[in-house]
Amino acid sequence: MEILIRGNKVEITESMKGYVKEKLSKLDKYLVDQKAKATVLVKVRGYTQKVEVTIPLKTLILRAEEEQQDFYAAVDLLINKLERQIRKNKAKLESRNKSKAKEFNIDDVLEIEENNDVVKRKKVDVKPMNAEEAILQMDLSGHDFYMYKDSDTNTVCVVYKRKDQGYGIIES
């Protein structure tokens, strides 16, 4: 992580820079794949020192500030805040990605394309009937479709349940 430290009405010493870099390096374990750039601003207000950290990432901006009489205590508290933000947002992103993965998983599609084996084969006796009888049979069977032989046209047809709760018929 690249760290830029600057002071407002205070001179940043080497020990302050080293302490901030050491503490911010703890966050690297959370930001493995990202090239983050942290901006640290130190301000003096009377007897207190205010430390602000901003880390823009691809998906979000981590920002925290802390004001204490001791600079080092402020940095410690600030790192704890940033770790909490990262863990909270990481959990949100993982759950969001898991829900997207449930909707569409490319690995499943590739597996199907590579393995075109028929998983189940079922033989059906196609009985002559009209469309209304086929719909009743489909509802009784609990399936979304039903194959039958149309008694009027003598063709094999499939009746199916549509998403809009209607029915459709495919004729051969």
pLDDT digits (tens, 9 = 90+) for 144-169: 888 989 988 889 999 998 888 889 99
pLDDT of residue 69: 93
Q: What is the pLDDT of residue 95?
A: 63
Question: Would you state the pLDDT for residue 164?
Answer: 85
pLDDT at position 101, please?
46
Q: What is the mean pLDDT of residues 118-144?
A: 80
pLDDT of the residue at 15:
94
pLDDT above 70: percentage of residues in the chain: 82
Strand pairing category for 37-45 and 2-8: parallel
What is the average per-residue pLDDT within 75-97? Answer: 80
d(CA 38, CA 17): 13
Query: How much is the mean pLDDT over the chain?
Result: 81
C-alpha span between 99 and 97 (Å, rounded): 5
Residue 85: per-residue pLDDT: 85
Whole-number Å distance between alpha carbons of 28 and 47: 32
Domains (ranges, CATH) in the chain? 2-102 (3.30.160.100), 128-171 (3.30.505.50)
Least confident window among 93-97, 107-111, 137-141, 164-168:
107-111
Task: Read off the pLDDT of residues 45-65 as tens digits, 9 standing for 90 and up.
Answer: 888 999 999 988 777 788 999
* Burial track 47-84 (b if 16+ CB lie within 10 A, e otherwise): eebbbbbebeeeeeebebebebeebeebbebbbeebbe
Per-residue confidence band for 17, with pLDDT thresholds at 50, 70 and 90:
very high
Mean pLDDT, residues 78-99 = 76
Q: Tokens for 110?
A: 């590739």
